[in-house]
Amino acid sequence: MIHSILLEFMIIGILGIGSQWFSWRFRMPAIVVMSIVGLLAGPIIGLINPEQDFGDLYSPIISVAVAIILFEGSLNLDIKDIKGLGKPVFRIATVGAGISWLLGSLAAHYVAGLSLTVSFVIGALFIVTGPTVILPLLRQSKLKPRPAKILKWEGIIVDPLGALLAVFALEVIVFFAGDGKHISSLLIFCLASLFAVAIGIICGKGIGWMFEHGYIPEFLKSPVVFTAVIACFTIADEVTHETGLLAVTAMGMTLANMGISSIQDMRHFKENLSILLISAIFVMLTASLTRETLMEVFNIEIIGFVLLMLFIVRPLSIFLSTIGTDLSTAEKFLVGWIAPRGIVALTVSGYFATVLYKEGYEDASIITSLTFALVFFTVCTHGFSIGWLARKLNLAADDQPGVLIVGSNPFTKTLAETFDDLEIPSIIVDSSWDRLGIARNAGIHVYHGEILSEQTEYRLDMTPYDYLISASDFDSYNALVCTTFVPEFGRSNVFKLPVQLDDEEDVKDLVNTIGGRLLFSDRSSLESLCTRIESGYVFRKTTITDQYSYNQYLDERGQDTTVLFILKSSGEMDFLTNESNPKATAGDIVVSLTPPSKEYQKILAKLEEQRDQNINKEDPLT
């Protein structure tokens, strides 16, 4: 057992982030890996026990982390984001939650064997999904926008509502138990919930107003918001337990819908912080479980309850609540299956188990085991099935990583045509309708609009695209586009083409200070590439085999041939840049820009000669 708190923090951090990396590297659900790692480090091996070792600090650490995660999620809840989806989201978060509460409570009573009073408290808590589990799943599965937005909004909105609903059910039970409390306690709870919403809105409006009027410098914006979130959560939670979650959700949604320009930068900071917190908290919670709790999970009543929640309660609540909406059957089926429970259910269930047990409900002792069973089974089943099911229902974005190209010109048009030939999703974005003409006439997928505009964020679905190439007519604009989208695409997937290469030292300095890597390895400029395209250069696709190696290809290629990228057999692409020079292996396709054939060159020379002769005939002075 680890006795140094500092050492235990280090172990939790390494295990959490290590789980995230392992999940990314081997394409596994992160929440599943984190849960298993926590169980191995805690009750199975006995390396750490955060709840015991941290003592009184354990609950505050979890609570603050959940508040920040929930705030970060709600910071993405811009009303414009669910244009056309407001009705199904509202139905699922209200009618669907109510149906799930009723059916879940009955399942807990008749299958898990809990008393009706305990069942209705825990049934309310089990309606939550939450951003701690939904956001990692969405990041992993790359769903199409509609089902992804529904799951995201439901998870973030219902997360605090589930906890509040459970507290309300508990207040009703205590009231009817006749322990001397009056109806005033219920009124106080309702007023406290309204107070939590009010303080969240006030904090959000206040922070937003100070941002807009320049009362907070850029370097202090994230720390100020971070502190305000903790203060907002703590004040509301001190008034009534669990209302703090509602307060931070209201604060995040308020800021998200104020249209503040600097919110985007904070959003990326909070997202990175949330990933760290989710990783650590999942490990802490699962590592704090006891072996007795794990053994109770295999109780036949608990397994039966989990199966009912998976296959009956969730699908039925979604199908009934979305009657009359425009959701397709496939969308209903996917949303009706995906409902993993996470951190809020695990943390809050311990509180209710303690309170109910003190009130004399001895069956509340199995609440922790019941909750963990539901969390673990839903995390595993949904984590491993969401991608497969989305593909089967045609609700997943194309598995082939796509390319978003900024700037329409002869080179990008031909590049996009090559992507189409290779069945790689691509789109050309340009603010000029005239410049887009060359791509539109070629039948290429285009978007007319400013890529840096806020409206583009809502109108253009960027889910299918993993790579970005900025190839406009201005170097400064290309640098700005790359810098803007580095947080979304990743630094290694953002590229730019220099318009000209007049000063090598200037370009070198630009690359070191501005986001986006320079295409291609021979440092071709956009101007020279367009000139070559107009001169008859063509894109060639060469498959590397065991008999024809990449080194042979490089030795035999012409001096004027530029290798552009390598399409790996896995579907991923390796672009050649000033910083990297990837190698192709058997099964990969090398795409290059090569000079026209000799026959084509002869034809082109003959056409130029005829053109010159015609000019001489028309001009007698020549």
Q: Which of 322, 387, 258 is nearest to 85 (CA)?
A: 322
The confidence score (pLDDT) of residue 504 equals 47
Q: Which of 575, 570, 552, 559 is nearest to 418 (CA)?
A: 575
Query: DSSP 3-state assignment of 583?
Result: coil
Higher per-residue pLDDT: 198 or 580:
198
| Rounded mean pLDDT, 114-131 | 84
Q: Where are the beta strands (DSSP E) in 377-437?
A: 402-406, 426-430
Query: DSSP 3-state assignment of 311?
Result: helix
Query: DSSP 3-state assignment of 48?
Result: coil
Of all residues in the chain, what percent carry a pLDDT higher than 90? Answer: 25
27-39: per-residue pLDDT in tens?
777 778 888 899 9
Residue 535 one-letter amino acid: S
The contacts of residue 236 (CB under 8 Å, 6+ apart) are: 192, 195, 196, 199, 200, 243, 244, 246, 247
**Residue in the structure block whose two tokens are 């995040």:** 252
The confidence score (pLDDT) of residue 505 equals 46
pLDDT averaged over every residue in the chain: 83
The contacts of residue 37 (CB under 8 Å, 6+ apart) are: 15, 16, 18, 19, 283, 286
345-396: per-residue pLDDT in tens?
777 777 778 778 777 788 888 888 898 889 889 888 988 898 889 989 988 8
**Residue in the structure block whose two tokens are 């630009």:** 510
| Rounded mean pLDDT, 82-94 | 82
Least confident of 356-365, 403-412, 611-620: 611-620
Higher per-residue pLDDT: 511 or 150:
150
The confidence score (pLDDT) of residue 512 equals 47
Q: How far apart are CA 540 and CA 564, in angstroms?
A: 10
Q: What is the pairing mode between strands 573-575 and 562-567?
A: antiparallel
Of all residues in the chain, what percent carry a pLDDT higher than 70? Answer: 86
Interior CA angle at 169 toward 165 and 175, to 5°?
145
437-473: per-residue pLDDT in tens?
989 998 899 999 899 886 677 677 777 888 999 999 8
185-242: per-residue pLDDT in tens?
778 878 888 999 999 999 999 999 998 888 888 888 888 988 999 999 999 989 887 7
Local structure of residue 575 (DSSP, 8 states): E
Q: Encoding tokens for residue 539?
A: 């894109």
Contacts 24+ apart (CB under 8 A), 40-45: 41/11, 41/15, 41/283, 41/287, 42/286, 42/287, 42/288, 42/289, 43/287, 43/289, 43/290, 43/291, 43/293, 43/294, 44/291
Q: Which of 307, 314, 341, 304 is nearest to 103 (CA)?
A: 314
| Rounded mean pLDDT, 509-533 | 72
Query: DSSP 3-state assignment of 49?
Result: coil
Confidence tier at 341 by pLDDT (50, 70, 90): confident
Residue 393 one-letter amino acid: L
The contacts of residue 451 (CB under 8 Å, 6+ apart) are: 406, 429, 431, 481
Confidence tier at 300 by pLDDT (50, 70, 90): very high
Phi and psi torsions of 207, nearest 5°:
-60, -45
| Rounded mean pLDDT, 300-306 | 93
Element (H, E) at 496: strand 494-496
Burial of 427 (0-12, 13-18, 19+ CB in 10 A): buried
| Rounded mean pLDDT, 607-613 | 60
| Cβ neighbours, 10 Å, residue 461 | 14
Alpha helices in 213-366 (DSSP H): 218-239, 244-256, 263-287, 291-296, 300-308, 314-321, 329-337, 343-358
| Cβ neighbours, 10 Å, residue 551 | 11
30-66: per-residue pLDDT in tens?
778 888 899 999 999 988 989 888 888 888 888 888 8
Query: Is residue 107 within 8 Å of residue 302, measured between CB atoms?
Result: no
The confidence score (pLDDT) of residue 315 equals 95
